[in-house]
Structures are given as C-alpha cells and as structure tokens.
Structure 1
C-alpha cells in the first residue's frame, strides 16, 4: 500500500497547525507528512494503522507521531456509511522540528523532549493522566490565539517530556517505505507562490503552471493531498492573514478585506465566518482591542 504525502493548511499568522477535522468520516488515506503530529479523537471509533501497527481507536484516543511515519484512521462502517450517532471529529496539532528556530531544541532544558521526539518516530499511543491533561489542553487550543496557544503547546511539551504512560506502536524494525520524490518540491513551489500572491487574484492556469501541471491535473493533485480545493485553501490563507491584521489597531475591516485579496466586503465576511465561525468584527472583539 503506497502512502501519499498530505498537508493541512497553515494560517499565515501561526507558527504551527491546530486543526479540527470534522465530517461523516475521516477522509485521509494511508499518508505521511513532514511534520510531527498529535491526533486526538473526540468523536468516532474504528481502526488506526501507524507504521506496521494496527490498533483500535475510541473517543479520547491520543497518538503522537514523528515525521514521515505512514498512518491512517479508518472509521467503523457505520461512520463511513453516514449512519454514526454523531459526526467523526478529531483535533490535530502539527509542527516541524525547527518551527521555533534551528537551535531551539538544542537548549539543555529540552533534552527530555528531544528523547520523546525520537521515540515518536515509531508512533506513541499516550494513556493515563498524561492523556487526560494533553486532551484538555488540545480542546482549549481550538479557541486560543497567539501566545495562549503557544503556551498550551509548551505545556504539552512539558507533559510529553516526563510522560511514562505510552505504548510504542510501530515495530523497531519497521522500515519506512516513503521514498523521496518531487512531490515535496512541488508543494514548496505551489505554497511559496500562494504565500507571495494571495492578496491578488491567482487564476487556476497560473498556479497550475507553477506546479508544471494542466489545470485538471493540478485540481486533482491539490484535492488529493490537501483534502480541499485550491479556492478553499486560498481562503484559509487569506483569512489567516486577516486575523493578523485584525490584531493591529490601524487597520479597518474594509481595508483588511482588500489587503487580503477580496474584492467585496460581503465575500470577505462570508468566507471569514465560514472558517472562523464568527465575523471579522466579532473576532477583533475577542482580541480585546
């Protein structure tokens, strides 16, 4: 079974990803990515595969995985068929090793965390009190921004550093079969173009050409690896930048809308509320400005 590289959208004003997956079932296939990842299941049941390990997941299941470790969460049939009592839900945290700088992990205080990150290359199912504490923090992070969210991540790092309640999942002899390809390079070119030009119109033929693909091939590639369309991803990037600008007093909402690439305030408000579940003005109030 060949793993594909998948990416979650990262807001432009955030140094790491906190993402809530919600739907009839979890859509990601057998996949990998370059980030460390914490996955908390809040609703749904089923089987999870991490490397060569197959286990069962239930609500509150928590797994920590290192980069490039193939994995998949397969919902029970009732969810896949749309017959579950609730939607399938999960909270995901992703971060790259150097997200706080190249030398961050080399400071003496983080030596225990470095050892835990090394263990995560096999995948770790966290249990006991550590799981309860981390799960509580992850749920709060969905409603936090800025320094609060970063502080919660550091609290999680502290718990992971001293955690003894875990099960290593993949066999120590498990050989990762992920092969280097031009996929990551293509991701980098496409993402860089989006980040440099999101405040302007980016037509499909232009972004497809960046990836050296036809429009149809690009749309299929993007949807397969991001589980959302290019337009949906672009709106996530734009709204993330808007959140940054809303934290600055000298920007009004109308100006922010145009600075983020929207040609109308109505469309900006609609997309912002769809992604943040509140209007830009309501979001600004949460920042206590």
Structure 2
C-alpha cells in the first residue's frame, strides 16, 4: 500500500470491553505492532485481502474467507489491499465455549491456530451488518440475538471444508473432556467476566461454578490451555491496555483499576505480554501520528 493508514488505538479498541460481543464492518487500518484482546476474533473478508502476523505463523485472508482465531495471542494486521473491507466481531470466551465445535478444533484455536473457510455465501455480509446493527441498537434482546445467530453461523463451519493454520501436528489434550465440560467452562468464564477487576481466586470461581476448586482448574486448563490465573490476568491486561491507550491516569491507577494487587505484579505481567513496560507502551502508542477519520469508510472504524 502506498500510503498506509495506521490503526489508532486511542480512537479504536475493544480491549476495554473484554466481556461483550462487539461487531464491525470497516476498511481497517494497518497496525504498527501486535495487540491482543480477551475475545475470539471472527473475520469475514467482504472485499480485497488481509495479511495477519500471528503468534507463531502468518495468515492471508482473501475475499469471501471466513476466519476465526483467539485474540489472546498477540496478532497484527500488517498488510492489506487498498480496497480491503472486512466484517467481523470479537466474541467473548464465555460465548465461545457455548459453540458446538469439534473438541480438537476448539483446542487448536485456543492453542493459537487460525481457522479459515472459503465456504461462504452472499448471506454472510448481510448477516454481519445485521449483527453490527443489533449490537449497537441498545436493545438487549437484539444484542442477545446477534450472539446466538453468530454462534449458529460459526457452528455451520464444521459441515464445510476449512483449514487450520499453521499446518503442523497440534498439541491437543482433550482427555477427560465430555459433553458436561463446556457448560462448566461457560459458568467459570461468566463469573470471571463479571469479577476480574476484583480480588478473586480459584475458590471463589469454583463456588460460583458449583464445582470443586481443583476440578475447576483442571477443566479450564484442558479446555483453554490457560490456567485460571492466566485468563484473569489476560482480562486485566486487556482492560489495562485500553486505559493506557486512552486515559491519562497514572500507571499505578491503571494497575489498581484493572484488578492487579500491586504495581510490581502489573509491571511484570504487562512486560511478559507486550515485551515492554506499561509506560513504554503508552509512550509508543501516543507517539504514533494521528489519522483523521475517513468519511468514506464503510462504518465506524473499529479495532482489528
């Protein structure tokens, strides 16, 4: 692209709302560096093509492709056609585990794989636009229907050809998981979503899910590849990332408001995820050039 427009996180971003379905239909901007968010990302390429640099592999989506990947892995839209238009959503983990997907596919996605299918049709852009309208309507019933309809659309992917990237032997451990597992993970995710900014532990989570703490830890780890603490930290870091992008609060305030018990714990977790300190991250983000909104865009510019 001759004159790239870069993603501006102070204007865009889902990081601060990790527990709500958010939709977009847009001509996205490229990203200078990877970001992450605590939702599964769903992309449908309406026109053009997009290239992502994922954690451990690359993925190129063409017009008509439907793609799914776990946003908790750092990822970056680093190249795209000039005419790119894509539709998509950020699906909270609590809804992802309501999906009736093959257990090996669900496990591969949580391990960082990307699912891509070209088995799409003319109804898909219409559906995504409706889901966008529903989620922004302010009507809870419409927002709920958008979630349910998206889940059904994703579930239909299992009946059509699809591929998982990268094309390597997966590390899948689905032993001990059965039809009772997903509802448990849903209850766990639901409780964490509502309480991640508070001081919670495995006992609190287990009580809310009505299971033993050890079983809660085991089921969640087998289902997501993450420990309970990993997921709680991811939600907190996602929230903190957005505060650093858009707020003027001190790093200490960001740490406390995000649910971290101390500044040192926050700094350590943030550096492990982003490769830099919170202060350096904020300085890097705010040092990027401003980009004026483009009135020709398909919809409100959203996040990648």
TM-score (norm. length: structure 2): 0.46
Bigger RCO (CA 8 Å, 6+ sep):
2
- TM-score, normalised via structure 1 length: 0.48
Larger Rg: 1
